[in-house]
Amino acid sequence: LGALRWHFLLQSLEDLQKNLCQLGSCLLVIQGEYERVLRDHIQKWNITQVTLDAEMEPFYKEMEANIRRLGEELGFEVLSLVGHSLYDTKRILDLNGGTPPLTYKRFLHILSLLGDPEVPVRNLTAEDFQRCRPPDPGLAECYRVPLPVDLEIPLESLSPWRGGETEGLQRLEQHLTDQGWVTSFTKPRTIPNSLLPSTTGLSPYFSTGCLSVRTFFYRLSNIYAQAKHHSLPPVSLQGQLLWREFFYTVASATPNFTKMAGNPICLQINWYEDAERLHKWKTAQTGFPWIDAIMTQLRQEGWIHHLARHAVACFLTRGDLWISWEEGMKVFEELLLDADYSINAGNWMWLSASAFFHQYTRIFCPVRFGKRTDPEGQYIRKYLPVLKNFPSKYIYEPWTASE
């Protein structure tokens, strides 16, 4: 977990704490290993119910099973609720016969049988907390949201993206006001090297739980219902939510989803092991300005456009360096604000032609792809200031310029 992700997470918790206080409630953050924390506090605070998201990742599935066993031992109820995804992935898998393989086309057919996802739970109000005793103010201070300095996180690592539900809702409203953009959105036509996000930029807020994907889904449905024409899955905005759901569904039923070895859906490829080239890719020193500009933005801001992700992923794997997708996945997990177990691994397998997509000769050119949408190289000039005065003719290929 990189410093930018830590800052985003702590900002999100601070925002949650502030919003809960306005409703007469409070957030208590307890640090420690979860089983010991529960054992210590169940009797001390007379806890009768523990709730959590229905989990899909192996680590959290094991955690949920352990908490259920603990509940039987210590006498508290465990509620596991589907909240982070649109659908219950188990229901989708049951309709598919239990396990992958699952194509995207088959996945959409199953969703058509299920109908629309459940309507999101309404926002909580002050009335919801009237029966809850406000916690002892001393308790709230004792279990406050930790500060970056408490966790020894460098303060200079601040992204322009701020965490929290308040910021996420503002971004959501800002994008939904332009209904023409919403209805005509098609994923391949967005610009990978625009200086401002040409997509919604909401993914960090979904992955951290600051925003509900169901809220976004139904807000989009309302806008689509009022339009004569609108784009459709897989390229529409709702289609992007369904891709997220697709990766969650496959990941939840695939052993070793984040590894090549022992992963039943992944091609076993004899990748190169080259620590020096991997380091140069990771630290924006490949010598291809567009690739290095993308990796610089990733390190500085924690977010890059999805097509930019495609370009650097292709470059690392089947396009240029032939280094394993697992190495790239680890870098994205550390640096991306929206890093996500299922989506990160799924996209890396896709972009390396290891799973889902096997046309390995379809390459994102590290020169022409960026030049097509930004011929003057403004994106490169911003993130690689060493080239800010370089002639546009050569900025994507500086090795072709005279000395």
Mean pLDDT within 86-115: 89
Closest listed residue to residue 117, CA positions, set 75, 73, 87 = 87
**What integer best gives the mean pLDDT of the chain?**
91
Q: Cite the residue boundaries of each domain of the chain with CATH code 1.25.40.80.
A: 85-120+170-253
Judge contact between 323 and 235, C-beta under 8 A. no
Q: Is 85-120+170-253 CATH 1.10.10.10?
A: no
Supply the pLDDT for residue 201.
85
Supply the pLDDT for residue 335.
96
CATH superfamily of 275-400: DNA Cyclobutane Dipyrimidine Photolyase, subunit A, domain 3 (1.10.579.10)
287 labeled binding residue: no
335 labeled binding residue: no
Supply the pLDDT for residue 132.
64
Taking the mean position of all CA atoms in its chain, how far away is CA 40? 33
200 labeled binding residue: yes
Reported as a single tens digit per residue, the pLDDT across 47-94 is: 999 999 888 899 999 999 999 999 999 999 999 989 899 999 999 999
Supply the pLDDT for residue 135.
58
| Confidence bin at 2 (pLDDT 50/70/90) | very high
283 labeled binding residue: no
Reported as a single tens digit per residue, the pLDDT across 221-272 is: 999 999 989 988 888 999 999 999 999 999 999 999 999 999 999 999 999 9
Supply the pLDDT for residue 160.
83
40 labeled binding residue: no
| Confidence bin at 102 (pLDDT 50/70/90) | confident
- Residue 272's DSSP bridge partners are 323
202 labeled binding residue: yes
| Confidence bin at 394 (pLDDT 50/70/90) | very high
| Residues present in the chain in total | 403
Asked if the model's pLDDT at residue 195 lies above 60, the reply is: no
172 labeled binding residue: no
Taking the mean position of all CA atoms in its chain, how far away is CA 392? 34
| Confidence bin at 133 (pLDDT 50/70/90) | low
203 labeled binding residue: yes
Reported as a single tens digit per residue, the pLDDT across 111-127 is: 999 999 988 777 778 88
Instruction: Look up the pTM and report it.
Output: 0.93
Asked if the model's pLDDT at residue 368 lies above 70, the reply is: yes
Supply the pLDDT for residue 291.
98
338 labeled binding residue: yes
241 labeled binding residue: yes
Q: Cite the residue boundaries of each domain of the chain with CATH code 1.10.579.10.
A: 275-400
81 labeled binding residue: no
Asked if the model's pLDDT at residue 198 lies above 70, the reply is: no
